[in-house]
Structure 1
Amino acid sequence: MELKAQLKLLNKPAVKSIQTQHGDIDCVDMYKQPAFDHPLLKNHTIQMRPTSYPEGMGNQDPSNANLEIGLKDDGCPLGTVPIRRTKIQELMSAKSPSQFGRKNLKNKRLSSTVGHHHAIAMLFSQVYGTQATMNVWSPQLQDQGQFSLAQLWLLNGHDDQLNSIEAGWHVISIYLSSMSTPISCNSRISILVLLAISLVYGNARSLSKEEHKELKAHLKLLNKPAVKSIQTQYGDIDCVDMYKQPAFDHPLLKNHTIQMRPTSYPEWMGNQDPSNANLEIGLKDGGCPLGTVPIPRTKIQELMSAKSLSHFGRKNLENRQLYSTTGHHYAFASLYSQVYGTQVTMNVWSPQLQDQKQFSLAQLWLLSGPKDELNSIEAGWHVFPGLYGDSVPRLFVYWTADGYTNTGCYNLKCPGFVQVSRDIVVGSIIQPSSTYNGDQIETTFLVFKDSSTGNWWLIYGNTQVGYWPKSLFTSLADSASLVEWGGEVYTQSTQNPQMGSGHFPDEGFKKASYMKKLMFVDNTNTLRDIPSNSSLYQDLPQCYRVIDGGNLGGDWGRNIYFGGPGEC
């Protein structure tokens, strides 16, 4: 009777159960998990993420890429956590129900207790966490009473007041499905396996039940019903009915009819070949079904990384126009003129960042209007771990109609940009990237105003990706008054990230970041080279610079080099 009561206490009601070859997994409401049976946690509010990470993690890749870990098919439903179901045979193997799942140790601290043997490295110091990368093995055991492990310990206190936090991998008979099952030389390794472990102490903002509910509602708004879903190594892609994509949540686009292609292109495009031939872009096997568009599925962790839900997917800028705002630094060329579009070819790099809150980009800007009513259309590539959770270059677009205050966002993270391509994923990884003194990987962007509809089209290589409807804008509904081409970085720390290749522009071709064939669309819908009177801007020349490469004609045309190492 006592065993059954203990079993009921351990196995919480499941929202969903998943069968695996190593036991059943119950998806339990996160507020009903065993932790909340602890008397000190009765009124605890779950902290959904760390408020920050230790510095110095930006250049590390603590992935478990070669391991089969985690549940398949997206795991447990939102708001639940996976817990392995305990069997009565496992309880019966314990010395007593109260000792179930506990180590058989007395006052373990550095010295070996009876039957326990250690081989460890240690550090005596005041510390606030540790990280370790370890290889994983399947050590052979001789009987069911043994275990073998590799782990880290964080310890404080003495003897009967010892505090300890531990994590690692182990082989232990507690996970056997029944007492009669013989243990083999390939005893399985538990789900505790981790290749990179980070434990951090500190004060952090908690997430209430109400905030968690709000997150789930916002996630439902962003992730539209999928006609088909495609799994990739960098996240799931949902093929969404093009008339149900996020753009149609915008009040100005409720009755909008999708323009499937531009009515015309700027003249002189016929002699150019703006392809992205060396890039692995677009979905394979024809992309999404006809009538749908590919949209990366937003995860709840991405929402939680935002300053607030209303700021999700938005730049942290105030009235940005030529002037550097706190933490933002620029190196670009600009042209003041009445323009109706621009085209640029740029090489792609993977600049090194110092932490998760930094970004580095290369892009074009089409701007119009006063500072507090600034209209902007932007496109290019960026490395932005705070938005994607990785440090690889990605295709992005951006827009705002009020100086980055309340309107606009990256990609399709809010209503606005209308996608028509069914194989190019906005926000997708651009690979490979350029190598120093090696192959240069280029990509071409064309943004122009459709002379008939007034919509601003994005052409990526030779692909019509989509457009920003004219109705989103005020001053850009007519034309742009300023065009910019170049790089931008953002940091909150004292150490600046790399821009472009991470080298100054005077190192030149194959070593520095460049933009070539810089062109603008005039009022006759003609692409023209930018004139020699364009301006250069660099707000932190000891870190980032831009130089004019002149007009070389042919494949290069008018060009610039820009970038820098940061670290200043």
Structure 2
Amino acid sequence: MRLLLIFAILSCLYNEAYGKVSLDIDMKLKTLNKPALKTIKSEDGDIIDCIDVYKQHAFDHPALRDHKIQMKPSVEFGTKKTTNPNNGTSEQITSQIWSKSGNCPTGTIPVRRVSREDISRASSPSHFGRKTPHVYRFLDQHKANFNLTSAENKPRPKDRSEAILLALGFNYVGAQSDINVWNPPRVQPHDYSSAQIWLLSGLSDKLESIEAGWVVNPGVFGDSRTRLFTYWTKDSYATTGCINLLCSGFVQTSTKYALGAAIEPVSSTSHKQYYITISMFLDPNSGNWWLHCGNNVIGYWPGKLFSYLQHSATAVQWGGEVYSVNVRKKPHTRTSMGSGAFASNRYAEACFHTNIRIKDYSLQIKYPQYLSQYADEYNCYSTRLSRRTYKSEPFFFFGGPGQNLRCP
């Protein structure tokens, strides 16, 4: 009888806890999956819902309840790119897999449908699509006379490893690069691996960041495909922001690109290289930060979301990031960054950023004057900034295999 009583009590507690989690997932699904005016089944298994642009999740944010949507930027980032940076051996990606199966009508935006299984993989529904807290303390101490030592001395996050090129100390109102697209091997189920641009401002636990590029994230998407992504936070990832449209905030205006949808084709060793062009810039008239992919406007982060980033960014990063609870540990995670090859392998083997540009208050698009490069774990993921000739466009190579003989 005692055993039956204990079993009954435990069953009640379990059912109560499970029931609450299930209810939380149901509420999350209802919030994220808005009613669709059209549904597209992609050949890769994704379901894309065409959502009324005025009823998207962004407007659930308290700061955006009375927000008037801006359908296009009042100014353009502009361009200052080499016309043929890779001698004809690379090609820009201008579409996604789902678009082969249909398109969204005018007045709607394509949104990747979230499943119950997607949310169930997260530690809790409220943490779905969010990074763990991460403080960039070196921004507290930056001065105009930035040097490499100040970056190398920054505290290292316990669960993220970065390999980056860094511009620090000025008022940046835009950044751009061509990001080489790969499908990094061995990304573990609870890890992610990205290649991206960050625009940063703020201090310590009030860091503000907007980010974009490509990512492989099995925990969010349930597979190892390479996908287009964005991210934002205004408090060092503690309680605000998320990937793509998984929380209110980012306002999408594009009918062509779906955030979180797969990117193809991807680069392969010693063959043609594929890239996406990512541009982020501040609209001086609206205060919104716009995101472009190639020549296509994706949408914007409203200035109302931020404090420091309402005016400018004080740091720009280009590079890659690996998240794992097993970075800086033995055994190290096997999750790779970029192509999975070290930066020293260079073109057609290592991942790269090229056509690296910033825009500052001069409103001129330029190659950054002062740059530093570093890697949190150089024996696991490395960096190399180089030119083929002294006149050619610089390439920033980065990445690595993760666990290897030098990174046990």
Give the alignment's TM-score, normalised by structure 1.
Answer: 0.61
Relative to 1, partners in 2 of residues 1:45 and 1:228: Cα closer, same or farther, differing over 3 Å? farther
Equivalent residue for 1:456, pick from 289, 294, 297: 289
- TM-aligned CA deviation for residue 270 of structure 1: 8.7
Relative to 1, partners in 2 of residues 1:258 and 1:220: Cα closer, same or farther, differing over 3 Å? same
Equivalent residue for 1:529, pick from 362, 367, 373: 367
- TM-aligned CA deviation for residue 286 of structure 1: 6.3
CA contact (8 A) 1:495 1:566 kept: yes
Equivalent residue for 1:255, pick from 66, 81, 92: 66
Aligned ranges 1:194-273 → 2 under 5 Å: 208-232=18-42, 233-269=44-80
- TM-aligned CA deviation for residue 280 of structure 1: 4.2
CA contact (8 A) 1:354 1:495 kept: no
Match of 1:372 in 2: 205
CA contact (8 A) 1:279 1:431 kept: no
CA contact (8 A) 1:530 1:558 kept: no
Match of 2:264 in 1: 431
1:355 aligns with 2:193: no
1:504 aligns with 2:320: no
Cα-Cα RMSD? 2.5
Match of 1:94 in 2: none
Match of 1:333 in 2: 165
Q: Helix, strand or coil: the match of 2:36? A: coil
- TM-aligned CA deviation for residue 352 of structure 1: 1.4
- TM-aligned CA deviation for residue 495 of structure 1: 3.1
- TM-aligned CA deviation for residue 557 of structure 1: 2.6
1:547 aligns with 2:358: no
Relative to 1, partners in 2 of residues 1:224 and 1:502: Cα closer, same or farther, differing over 3 Å? same
- TM-aligned CA deviation for residue 285 of structure 1: 6.7
Which digits, 9 at most, give the CA deviation of each residue in 1:268-289, with x for residues without a partner? 4598699974454262476211
1:314 aligns with 2:130: yes
Relative to 1, partners in 2 of residues 1:553 and 1:426: Cα closer, same or farther, differing over 3 Å? farther
CA contact (8 A) 2:199 2:211 kept: yes
1:566 aligns with 2:399: no
Relative to 1, partners in 2 of residues 1:551 and 1:373: Cα closer, same or farther, differing over 3 Å? farther
In the aligned structure 1, how far is the partner of 2:68 from the partner of 2:302? 10
CA contact (8 A) 1:366 1:484 kept: yes
Relative to 1, partners in 2 of residues 1:326 and 1:287: Cα closer, same or farther, differing over 3 Å? same
Match of 1:287 in 2: 103
In the aligned structure 2, how far is the partner of 1:229 from the partner of 1:561? 39
In the aligned structure 1, how far is the partner of 2:113 from the partner of 2:358? 34
- TM-aligned CA deviation for residue 558 of structure 1: 3.2
| Bigger shift: residues 329-338 or 298-307 | 298-307
CA contact (8 A) 2:172 2:360 kept: yes
Q: Helix, strand or coil: the match of 1:227? A: strand
CA contact (8 A) 1:438 1:510 kept: yes
Q: Helix, strand or coil: the match of 1:302? A: helix
In the aligned structure 2, how far is the partner of 1:491 from the partner of 1:481? 27
Equivalent residue for 2:226, pick from 373, 376, 393: 393
In the aligned structure 2, how far is the partner of 1:408 from the partner of 1:310? 11
In the aligned structure 2, how far is the partner of 1:469 from the partner of 1:276? 32
CA contact (8 A) 1:351 1:499 kept: yes
Match of 2:3 in 1: none
Relative to 1, partners in 2 of residues 1:270 and 1:385: Cα closer, same or farther, differing over 3 Å? closer
Which digits, 9 at most, give the CA deviation of each residue in 1:334-393, with x for residues without a partner? 001210010100111111125201111110000000011001000011111011000111
Q: Helix, strand or coil: the match of 2:27? A: helix
CA contact (8 A) 1:338 1:480 kept: yes
CA contact (8 A) 2:245 2:259 kept: yes
- TM-aligned CA deviation for residue 427 of structure 1: 0.7
CA contact (8 A) 2:81 2:355 kept: no
Q: Helix, strand or coil: the match of 2:110? A: strand
Which digits, 9 at most, give the CA deviation of each residue in 1:502-556, with x for residues without a partner? 111111111111110110011132211112x3111111111111111149688x6
Q: Helix, strand or coil: the match of 1:457? A: strand
Aligned ranges 1:36-435 → 2 under 5 Å: 44=11, 208-232=18-42, 233-269=44-80, 277-278=92-93, 280-281=95-96, 283-284=99-100, 287-320=103-136, 323-336=155-168, 337-353=170-186, 355-435=188-268
Which digits, 9 at most, give the CA deviation of each residue in 1:7-33, with x for residues without a partner? xxxxxxxxxxxxxxxxxxxxxxxxxxx
Which residue identity does 1:421 align to in structure 2? S
In the aligned structure 2, how far is the partner of 1:300 from the partner of 1:490? 23
In the aligned structure 1, how far is the partner of 2:104 from the partner of 2:180? 28
CA contact (8 A) 2:91 2:273 kept: no
Identity %: 38
Q: Helix, strand or coil: the match of 1:208? A: helix
Bigger radius of gyration: 1
Which digits, 9 at most, give the CA deviation of each residue in 1:284-331, with x for residues without a partner? 476211111111111111112212222111002332455431121111
CA contact (8 A) 2:77 2:279 kept: no
**Structure 1: stretches of 5+ with no match in the other structure:** 1-39, 48-204
Equivalent residue for 2:306, pick from 470, 473, 476: 473
CA contact (8 A) 2:340 2:350 kept: yes
CA contact (8 A) 1:225 1:240 kept: yes
In the aligned structure 2, how far is the partner of 1:261 from the partner of 1:521? 19
**Structure 2: stretches of 5+ with no match in the other structure:** 1-6, 138-153
- Counting matched residue pairs gives 370
